[in-house]
A and B are shown apart, each in its own frame.
Chain A
């Protein structure tokens, strides 16, 4: 296939959405048999580039060449037929259809698909309706479906963000296999360790321009981060906070049980600390957070706030007790068509008991303070759906800061967010702790525990497996513990 041409060459690609420039002048070359990392902060233009490449949106200007011939994909079907198979950031399966009908919709061979899926050690009934399948499994199904088309160029946009560690490893292994077959992979991820581990080449986008492109190797991390951030100051992810232990329990859970998800879970959150919850996918963390936030009721056990026993029948009960919940899926927390201002203020005015008009001056000052404290990019202020993922996440946290709270439950707040914004969120959580607030943080990225948490609690198969003091919270120990091994 290779006749001196690269597999893919993108030249001077540009795309604007109204006044917002997503891609200014992006250049990008992928050789056959290469795993190429595409990197950049949120809003750098990665997703736009992928969407143009796969025919989802049309470019303004620029040239895309596949095997030396200029191409112009007008639909995802189009690109798939040319051997370009994407796995998008959001699952592209139809929720109300069975898996079998989804495969038929995309003209995917069932046997080939099952063969690919069996490599991930996943077995599934093809008549299962998609909306009853869990997200991590769906991501793997998406990947298997793409592979079943035998693509020459596989595009993985943030596939590992929603995956537990063991499945992410399978994705990495699959990329290696594709490479061995002479196929290429474009890999987008915020997990730099994965990039170093598997990628041959890395291209970094910033503000819609390719700012750096180099051979990836161990130790590329600094160069990547520097290129992504440009002249913005590098945020250190090492310990840069003071632990202040207090024995005053703010939130206490005792012997919580919930179906097969949670068994006898007890934990306590003290004033002014950030506690990390470590767990592989599906160990019961979802249920635990939802119980603490009052979204679902446990089968058994007690919850106490400031030493007083409480029973949450509704999230508003938890909010009244000072417990705020930042869910993993930003889209469920925000009002996408409304402005930043309204999204920030909505929980504040929950407390208004009448239909009296809102105090505009107060709202203004509150919102402005939150925007500047959180460094929210307000270019797309009129509708939060136009904000980048990182900025949306800041809004979901910011609304609770404007409201006031004692305990913040953060479920994977940095999923799919760039390094710079991640740093800002760590700093924010630490500041909250310094102000005497308590934070329970679940994260799928273990290095975050060390960067933000005072101690870690490991959940394994619905039970508290271990509690680790800060000194033991390095990535390796956490990983071992999360897999159910004892490290104490």
Chain B
């Protein structure tokens, strides 16, 4: 199985950008080693997992504006009931959280398929519902979880191994088999051309439900990671909305076409590093955060523009 050269070139470009920014930022620090890398990875894991979930959905021709709210809800669920629990109970809680996230995703996909209302409208509505639900469960910041459970994410030592695994394992254990499976191909198919997918024998409605359920799974993982890393949860809409928008930005930066059918998950995961580095580096120079927002916005457009041009050049005449 080969991934198309175009996709690889995009991933490579983003990788180079990440390396470049990484070196730049490392020079601002007094020391750079395993511990600093660990801090960076822990900082991006929740967004990276969320961006993966969003990317899957965009590849399948949809978009989920409630994905941040899904993650926050799972964060709340696992943190609120996680105070002072045993390791086993924390695991059971996490598993329950994942099932809830998958169910919410599947339900979203089902509503879109049966109502034939646009993805953007349905998920905007569900985002309100989920944020409300999160506030209802826990009205302010709080919660905790088992220490050993938390170490699954942060690692017992001070090195970057555990966070790196948290980032890479979902790609290897969930995405890679899925990408090669019939379901994975059908995600790309319905995103690329629904009509042709249907004629190829794909049950479009069922594929869309699976698509949103998979997106929900990654959102759930993101929520659990938040609990594991921060040992707390906040139900506020500002957090979930920012997370949703950043997940879309990372997906697009990572080479996922908003038109659907094109892209992968490695690019978006790397792109979250870009989103992390830019404000950090600018902050290191003492630049106003308002400017760094502007620069981040401009850079997003420029990267996507260059990527689009590369793609057009790569494709055949017209």
Which positions in A face B, CB cutoff 8 Å?
56, 75-78, 80, 88, 90-98, 100-102, 104-107, 127, 129, 131-132
Q: A94-B196, A104-B182, A105-B182 are in contact. Are A75 and B203 (CB under 8 A)?
A: yes
Q: A127-B4, A132-B315 are in contact. Are A94 and B198 (CB under 8 A)?
A: no
Let me know if B185 is at the binding interface, CB within 8 A. Answer: yes
Contact with B188, one of A90, A93, A101 (Cβ below 8 angstroms): A101
Interface string of B201-221 (1 = CB under 8 A from A): 111000000000000000000
Cα-based distance from A77 to B262 in the complex (angstroms) = 24
Cα-based distance from A105 to B197 in the complex (angstroms) = 9
Interface string of B244-268 (1 = CB under 8 A from A): 0000000000000000111000000
A98:B4 contact, CB within 8 angstroms: yes
Shortest beta-carbon distance from B187 to chain A in Å: 10
List 18 other contacts, CB 8 Å, given A96-B261, A97-B185.
Answer: A76-B198, A76-B199, A76-B201, A80-B201, A91-B196, A92-B199, A94-B197, A96-B191, A96-B260, A98-B2, A98-B4, A101-B188, A104-B182, A105-B189, A105-B197, A106-B200, A107-B182, A107-B201
Q: A56-B199, A77-B201 are in contact. Are A95 and B188 (CB under 8 A)?
A: no
B201:A106 contact, CB within 8 angstroms: yes
Residue among B2, B193, B195, B197 with max Cβ neighbours from chain A (10 Å): B193
A76:B200 contact, CB within 8 angstroms: yes
- Give the interface residue-count category, chain B: 20 to 34
Let me know if B192 is at the binding interface, CB within 8 A. Answer: yes
Contact with A132, one of B2, B196, B316 (Cβ below 8 angstroms): B316
Cα-based distance from A104 to B184 in the complex (angstroms) = 11
B4:A129 contact, CB within 8 angstroms: yes
B window 89-148: CB within 8 A of A:
none
Residue numbers in B under 8 Å from A77 (CB-CB): 201-203
Residue among A56, A94, A95 with max Cβ neighbours from chain B (10 Å): A94
A94:B192 contact, CB within 8 angstroms: yes
Cα-based distance from A103 to B315 in the complex (angstroms) = 21
Let me know if B150 is at the binding interface, CB within 8 A. Answer: no
A295 and chain B: residue at smallest CB distance: B318
Let me know if B55 is at the binding interface, CB within 8 A. Answer: no
Residue numbers in B under 8 Å from A93 (CB-CB): 196, 200
B200:A105 contact, CB within 8 angstroms: yes
Cα-based distance from A97 to B6 in the complex (angstroms) = 12
B window 142-200: CB within 8 A of A:
182, 185-186, 188-189, 191-193, 195-200
Residue among B197, B199, B315 with max Cβ neighbours from chain A (10 Å): B199
Cα-based distance from A200 to B151 in the complex (angstroms) = 75
Cα-based distance from A105 to B198 in the complex (angstroms) = 11
Cα-based distance from A97 to B316 in the complex (angstroms) = 15
A104 and chain B: residue at smallest CB distance: B185
B196:A96 contact, CB within 8 angstroms: no
Contact with B261, one of A75, A95, A104, A106 (Cβ below 8 angstroms): A95
A94:B261 contact, CB within 8 angstroms: yes
Give me the 10 closest cross-chain CB pairs, A-B, nearest first. Answer: A77-B201, A96-B261, A92-B199, A96-B192, A94-B189, A132-B316, A94-B192, A105-B185, A127-B2, A76-B201
B window 1-42: CB within 8 A of A:
1-2, 4, 6
Q: A96-B191, A98-B4, A127-B4 are in contact. Are A88 and B200 (CB under 8 A)?
A: no
Cα-based distance from A77 to B316 in the complex (angstroms) = 31
Contact with B193, one of A95, A98, A104 (Cβ below 8 angstroms): A95
Cα-based distance from A80 to B198 in the complex (angstroms) = 13
Cα-based distance from A123 to B199 in the complex (angstroms) = 24
Residue numbers in A under 8 Å from B191 (CB-CB): 96
B195 and chain A: residue at smallest CB distance: A90
Q: A127-B4, A129-B4, A131-B315 are in contact. Are A97 and B189 (CB under 8 A)?
A: yes
Residue numbers in A under 8 Å from B196 (CB-CB): 90-95
Residue numbers in B under 8 Å from A91 (CB-CB): 196
Cα-based distance from A106 to B4 in the complex (angstroms) = 20
